[in-house]
A and B are shown apart, each in its own frame.
Chain A
């Protein structure tokens, strides 16, 4: 009620009373989910899918606009006091309660925390959903979905959505995993394929020697060339399928979604900084701070102490990784403010400057 009230009052009046704070700063005293603009959600449930994957059921506040099947969202999770942002695909169809399905990607990272330690009740922050990996307005009659591992998440969302709409086309799903136990949504998808004549499911298990090769693809789905293909999975799998489609001259039939980040160089060797606003770029050896590199390009970024204490030179890191010149620590903080006087670029870096 308080939330509705403040949302409907004119912005200027509420702000006069709360200045210089945001009205949200007081609303959240009552309920941490309450916010006039931010999308926040509570983790209502953590459901184990496999040894390495869980599904988070989220209860977002009213600012969640809804998503299209196949889209992804950035989630902010606080781990050891630090807000970590990662992008995950929404595994739910638009009519279902919001879920993200997350597979553990090695030890120590955000996915490791989510899969092993995240508790129901945790507050998380969400971005607006985004991404072009979704069905067109008029759904093709013949589909081929190819998924590997957690790459099933957007495809599960799309298929569930099509099923609910009563779509009566012809869909094939090739789903590649290590083995049956490591297969996310295995029972659910088997059930869906049994209940719904429009879907035929084929599962390939690497442990049984069933790797997806061009031959196997052509053999399993002989009419692949007539189908609109949707591909999401690990880099190796995607490469095989992409190369095959390119070779067949069918690139425009293939829609894909990548999870993997691009390759990185060795640490401490510097890199190239692009200055987004001013358009220039500079290459550092790893010894020069981003501030020095910017100045070497004739830019004059705002700065103060040049020793990391005053935070005057803080500006936004658009993408890439930086190395702290004091302690050598390398970090990635997309969209975060950073002090450019004490950080050197580590590989390809883009700043808002």
Chain B
């Protein structure tokens, strides 16, 4: 398979064993402290939500409104990212707590858990960054890889990608429908019943945030409605930024379907590393991003509890250095800047196929400072 690193199959196999060993070690070490961590996050999130909604009831006072909508935004971000996303990945299944089990959990957003688990856990995580297989590459509306054929509509993507950002939860919900497959590999009937499930979930979400809670506030209704709209909007923007930084930074590699031929576990790991990018930051940043700031570690170990990614990160970095694999990381401002650059560059036709499409924009990016270490001998 063609990869932008010069490693033999034996070296890649060895890489796989090293990464497997890290996984094994951490998964065997899970215990009470991890359980206490996720429970604490859940308690903080539920308290923020209850507090935020209560403060919005007193929203006539500007500080109360501001505090209320901030707490509610915080709650939605924590719930979607550090709790929902990770619980639905099965990161906490080992606890056997039915409330934190991937089979039961439903999250506070428009997309139903069942639909999302399919498009995310299976399609996106198995076929990460493979154009034509990973539907998260551009979400069917953006051109994020040169291998996606150009269409005139992409000229407007630097603008309409902001509409996606603001309405992100609705984008994610509709994404599960897989419009491009309907009438082809997905029957109309299947798409119909799926639409119904999405509508049912969306109706409950809308009823809660935009009808019932505002009405409960009586004369406060418009302020509560505004607070709730704002909280959903803030969560949408933040989730969009974090998620786009995960796979669309300028150095994040895209792949073509031929990589899947006889792909070994080692190759799969390598593809996950090359296709993902991290964010540097403090503890708060990591929690608020649902630890997707450790996107590389998350893609190597999608069902490892997120609180463990930070300790795994230096070990993965060390392995990458040893094998001469680019470890893509940077501050949010820098990484997001390169995402915007990619959105702008690929709005125009062209870009070298089988590449990130960003070479012309920054020729130096192919020679990262983390490359060039001596390759380990084949095992």
Contact = CB atoms under 8 A, between A and B. Distances in A.
A81 B91 CA distance: 13
14 contacts: A20-B108, A20-B204, A21-B46, A81-B30, A81-B32, A84-B96, A304-B121, A307-B268, A311-B102, A311-B117, A312-B122, A314-B90, A336-B96, A337-B101
A16 interface: yes
A51 interface: no
A16 B208 CA distance: 6
Q: How large is the interface on A (under 10, 10 to 19, 20 to 34, 35 or more residues)?
A: 20 to 34
A266 interface: no
Given A19-B208, A82-B96, A309 B32 contact: no
A248 interface: no
Given A80-B32, A304-B126, A337-B93, A16 B24 contact: no
A10 to B, nearest CB: 13
A30 to B, nearest CB: 10
Interface in A53-88: 78, 80-85
A335 to B, nearest CB: 9
A199 to B, nearest CB: 42
Contacts of A309: 121, 125-126, 302-303
A167 interface: no
Interface string B116-128: 0110011101100
B46 A25 contact: yes
Given A16-B212, A304-B121, A81 B126 contact: no
B122 A310 contact: yes
Interface string A11-42: 00000110111100110010000000000000
Which of B94, B96, B101 has the most chain A CB within a 10 Å cutoff? B96
B13 interface: no
B233 interface: no
B251 interface: no
Interface string A290-328: 000000000000001101111110100000000000110
A337 B31 contact: no
A330 to B, nearest CB: 14
A305 B272 CA distance: 14
A327 B94 CA distance: 15
Contacts of B32: 78, 80-81
Contacts of A217: none
Contacts of A312: 117-118, 121-122
A209 to B, nearest CB: 45
A211 interface: no
B103 A19 contact: no
Given A304-B122, A337-B93, A81 B35 contact: yes
B229 interface: no
A21 B208 CA distance: 12
B96 A305 contact: no
Contacts of B125: 305, 309-310
A33 to B, nearest CB: 15
A83 B102 contact: no
Contacts of A310: 117, 121-122, 125-126, 302
A212 to B, nearest CB: 39
A304 B118 contact: yes
B238 interface: no
Given A304-B118, A309-B125, A310-B125, A17 B94 contact: no
A82 B42 CA distance: 17
B95 interface: yes
B114 to A, nearest CB: 10
Contacts of B103: 311, 314, 337
Nearest to A303: B122
B107 interface: yes
Interface in B264-323: 265, 268, 302-303
Q: 4 closest pairs, A vs B, by CB?
A: A304-B122, A81-B35, A20-B106, A310-B121
B97 A83 contact: yes
A81 B95 contact: yes
Contacts of A83: 95-97
Contacts of A84: 96
A282 interface: no
A219 B171 CA distance: 81
Contacts of A80: 31-32, 35
Nearest to B101: A337
B212 A17 contact: yes
Contacts of B89: 311
B256 interface: no
A326 B265 CA distance: 12
A250 interface: no
B213 A17 contact: yes
Interface string A313-353: 01000000000001100000100110100000000000000
Contacts of A307: 126, 265, 268
Nearest to A333: B96
